[in-house]
Structure 1
C-alpha cells in the first residue's frame, strides 16, 4: 500500500497535509510519496490520477480527496478501511 500526497510549492495547505500524511504512513508502516504537480513528472502523475488541485491524496492509486486538507483521523480511517482493520 502507498500513500501519495499531490502538492504544489505555492499551496498553503500542503505543508500541513504532508506532515499529516507522513505521520499516518509511518504509524501504519506504509509507503509515503510526495508528488509535486509543479514539475513535469509530477504533472504527468497528477493527470494520470485526475488531480489538478492541491493538496490531493491517493491511497494505492485511488484518489480519496482533491483540493482539500484531509484531517488525520479521516486519513487514518481511510487507511484502516483498506487494510481491513
Structure 2
C-alpha cells in the first residue's frame, strides 16, 4: 500500500488546505495517509532524515515528493505508478 505522510505545523497557514487535499485524495485513492507535526519527536526525525526545510511537506513511501501544495495530477500519477510497482 502507498503510504503518504504529511508533515505539518500548528502555526503553518498553508497546512490546512494541504491537509484537506490529502484527506480528499485518500478518500478517492487507496492510500495510507497520516499527518505528523514537524515539532513532534517523529517529525523531528523525519525532518532531519529528509532534510526538510519547510512545511507542509509530503513524503510518499518515505521519499520527499512535495513541499507546499501538491499538484493533483502529479500526485495521482505518482500514487498510480507506485501502486503498479507493488504488483
Q: Do they superpose with TM above 0.5?
A: yes
TM-score computed with the length of structure 2 as normaliser: 0.82
After TM superposition, give the deviation of residue 56 of structure 1 in Å. Answer: 0.6
The Cα offsets for residues 38-76 of structure 1, whole Å up to 9 and x where unpaired, read as 22331112212221211111110111112x211333321
Larger Rg: 2
Unaligned runs of 5+ in 1: none
Moved over 2 A (4+): 71-74
Aligned-pair Cα RMSD in Å: 1.7
Equivalent residue number for residue 82 of structure 2? 82
TM-score computed with the length of structure 1 as normaliser: 0.84
Q: Is the 8 A contact 1:20 1:71 kept in 2?
A: no
Equivalent residue number for residue 21 of structure 2? 20
Q: Is the 8 A contact 1:13 1:55 kept in 2?
A: yes
Distance in 1 (alpha carbons) for counterparts of 2:27 and 2:61: 15
Distance in 1 (alpha carbons) for counterparts of 2:30 and 2:79: 11
Q: Is the 8 A contact 1:35 1:45 kept in 2?
A: no
Equivalent residue number for residue 8 of structure 2? 7
3-state SS of the aligned residue for 1:84?
Answer: helix
